[in-house]
A = this chain, B = another copy of it.
Amino acid sequence: MKANLRIALLMVGVVCVTTLSLLPTSRADEGMWTFDNPPLKQWKEKYNFEPTSAWLEHIRLATVRLSEASGGGATGSFVSADGLIFTNQHVGAGQVAKLSSASANYTRDGFYARTRAEELKCPDMEANVLVSYEDVTARVQGAAKSASSEKEAAAQRKAIMAAIEKEDAAKTGLKSEVVTLYNGGEYWLYRFKRYTDVRLVFAPEEQIAYFGGDYDNFTFPRYDLDITFLRVYENGQPAKIQHYLKWAEKDVAENELVIVPGFPGSTARLLTAAQLRYHRDTGNPLQKLVWTSRSEALKRYGTQGEEQRRQAAPTIRGLENSLKRLVGQQAGLENPRIFQKKEDEDAALRKAVAANPEWQLAYGDGWSQLEKAYAELPVQAKRLAFSTLAASRLGMLASNFVRYAEEVRKPNEQRYEEFRDNRLEAMKLALLSPAPLYPEMEAAILAAWLEEGKRALGAEDPFIRAALGQAMPAEVVSNAVRNSKLQDLAFRQSLFTAGADAIQKSSDPLLVLARKVEPIIRELRAWNEDKILSIEVAAGEKIAKARFAVYGKSVYPDANFNLRIQYGTVAGYEEDTTLVPFKTTFYGLYDRANSFNEKPPYHLPARWQNAKSVLELATPFNFVYSADTIGGNSGSPVINRNAEVVGINFDSNVQKLPNRYLYIDEREGARAVGVHAAAVVEALQKLYGAGDLVKEIKGR
């Protein structure tokens, strides 16, 4: 029934999308814009907002990319001169869990460092700020011009990108990354200032950050204090930050413009119909299978006891979030009207290209190239999905050690991207993360994963055969994991110091297992890079150039976890036959908790149960706005025209979920959801005794 209703909702959404798309698009708050091409025209027309370049630079330098060695990543923002970062509890949750133990459960009880000395170093999180960028499209595309094949072109692009990164890093001492935009239409060199000493300052109880659990996730009205404060250090001291955001003097008003800078993770709005068909028919269903089997394995493990539940909880929460989002995205693709709309967009561009002989000659075959390449993908997709040990953190560590040993021997430009010199430090941080590992949990996950893989691929599949031989997953894993020393940080450090040879000779049973499957994984990765990725870039470049030719640079690139600027209006909306307000209050939290008789996930932490008399219950708690955000914007600051913090982004409502594939119009009720700045101050002050923290963010 849930699914049905969700789909129904989307069908409705799109009924209106199609009708409303006839209206002037200037009305829509669409877009995840790069800082080199902000939507100045839209801002001026709709909001009479004309920021200076200094304003934009200030925002860019105050916005932070947070990433975890485990691969998770999101957004934060500087909110004090002393390196204080404001983000979501669910962004910091991984680190909070890793800092927790059976005896000190910060996930359950929350954490607040009353002094700098009490701030806890996050085991494996880094913060990056985009300090400058330049267009290197000509160099990258030029390098591949002479290539005789797409495969060779891809190799040459990789080489030149690696070279640019290395030379620039050497020159600037910054973390330099060549970023692909518009699926190959543009290449930009992004330079990041990197902070690796990130410490935990404050996190509330997960139950108040995640009140309503998976049920209320992606819904509104909402009542969550999904916030966390971190602090970056340099040389053991809080980093001095010049560009940080001030806290708003007054509450954001209904219908006010808000700006939301951040690092949206991934969209697929510029894909061709052929690519979307793959997502709908193969990619998404497969992804769902993978995530479901992992989350079920973790839930089974969690049933063994309270401590096991604690160990598994953060990953389960992340997977449930991903699954609920995926179902909403897939419902969008499965909606005939939405899919038709995408096919029409694609057809319109092809038609415009075909109408111009010059364009047709230069770009025309991009579509057929992709169609041809994707025709082969479904057969391999399952192998690509299941041929990995990375479902478990320990398995990922083992594979990364093995891969590291092989890659570092190669010249920089021939390595896998993640092992290039400019990324090696991040890789080292991952390999040597002090984050606790739970061998029993890792074993349970890995065994279940190999079982699922065997079911999906069959016993005769090369990866399965290499991993299991004739044995059962359980025995293979229990030997490989239980007798491995990889969970021991000291062992990993000595191994890393000993270097590539030592790693390749090590008899650690998990490394042995990783070595067995590595050739298969490399073979598949090579196939994917040659047959799919290289074509995606080559064809992507043509289609992007075609799009620029036809529409000019009025479009924004698909999101890929790089800095963007988004915007919207604070506004409620209609749902069913009534109105949804633009904000909620603390009153609503107590209504919902009491309405369910505090049955989980609607129970309140003790601190909150007894706070009714302490809190000003009319304080705004959560609020909604029409900014075009997506996963990765978690923790994005929500700011007003004066660049002051009026809230923090943490979710979207269900109406908005299909927006991975197309912009869902704000007039359909698609909204981003944030925690209101007033709620942050009220709670910190009245419930957490965090007056000093409030002083720091308010600068007074």
Contact = CB atoms under 8 A, between A and B. Distances in A.
A594 B585 contact: yes
The interface centre, meaning the residue of A578, A602, A618 with most chain B CB atoms within 10 A of its CB, is A578
Contact of A618 (B12, B594, B617): B594
B254 A597 contact: yes
A11 B9 CA distance: 10
Given A594-B585, A618-B594, A574 B5 contact: yes
Interface residues of A, number: 49
Interface stretch (A30-38, A165-173, A214-222, A264-272): A214-222
A147 interface: no
A581 interface: yes
A2 interface: yes
Given A577-B2, A578-B212, A595 B588 contact: yes
A324 interface: yes
Interface in A580-611: 581-585, 587-588, 590-592, 594-597, 602
Given A254-B597, A588-B591, A588-B595, A8 B11 contact: yes
A579 interface: yes
A499 B617 CA distance: 65
Total copies of the chain: 2
A127 interface: no
A140 interface: no
A595 B584 contact: yes
A595 B668 CA distance: 20
B577 A596 contact: no
B595 A585 contact: yes
Contact of A4 (B15, B215, B617): B15
A578 B11 contact: no
Interface in A1-30: 1-2, 4-9, 11-12, 15-16
Interface string A261-284: 000000000000000000000000
A577 B212 contact: no
Given A5-B12, A8-B8, A585 B591 contact: yes
A212 B9 CA distance: 23
A612 interface: yes
Contacts of A15: 4
5 contacts: A5-B574, A221-B591, A582-B595, A587-B617, A590-B618
Interface of A: 1-2, 4-9, 11-12, 15-16, 212, 215-216, 218-219, 221, 254, 324, 572, 574-579, 581-585, 587-588, 590-592, 594-597, 602, 612, 617-618, 654, 667-669
Given A8-B11, A324-B577, A585-B591, 18 more contacts: A2-B576, A4-B15, A4-B16, A5-B12, A9-B576, A11-B11, A215-B578, A219-B577, A221-B595, A579-B596, A581-B602, A582-B595, A583-B595, A584-B595, A585-B595, A587-B594, A588-B588, A594-B618
